[in-house]
Homo-oligomer: A and B are copies of this chain.
Amino acid sequence: MKLSHIALAAPKIDDVLEKLRVLELKVKETHEVPSEKVKAAMVPVEFSPHFRIEILEPTAQDSPIAKFLERKPAGGMHHLCFEVSQLERWLKVVQDAGLEVLPPGIRKAARGKAFFIHPKSLAGVLVELEEIA
């Protein structure tokens, strides 16, 4: 059981690739899958040695996860997180590229600090960038 891919759906691949270039992620190849009636772009990524799937359960009704579950009661994929160094530099890169950052910007995270990119700026996907302390 080895994780093979994470699939994102998007109206236009090129729009997503443009945003991913801001994060220095680049497409390796694009091909059509006629049986599924899709065009697929492959974007290789590196892994943190700490990589894991995280399951998040709300502990209060005003938790961000509780609000997500109001819209999707059965649960679902909530966000992707990338580990970076120089988080302040990445905040500037992301904002200079016109991607929206969720307030309050850089915040304390479980193991360091982090900020979130609004899903509307990145193919409907909430993306966290974190720097481990």
Q: Mark A100-133, 1 if CB is under 8 A from B, else 0.
A: 0000000110100000000110011100101000
For the complex formed by this chain, how many copies does it contain in all?
2
A36 beta carbon closer than 8 Å to chain B: yes
Category for how many chain A residues contact B: 35 or more
Known contacts A58-B37, A64-B36; A4/B51 CB under 8 A: yes
> What chain B residues lie within 8 Å of A84 (beta carbons)?
1-2
Q: Kindly identify, within residues 42 to 84 of chain A, every residue whose CB is under 8 Å from any CB belonging to chain B.
A: 42-48, 50-60, 62-66, 68-69, 72-84
Residues of A with Cβ closer than 8 Å to B? 1-13, 16-17, 23-25, 27-28, 31-48, 50-60, 62-66, 68-69, 72-84, 107-108, 110, 119-120, 123-125, 128, 130
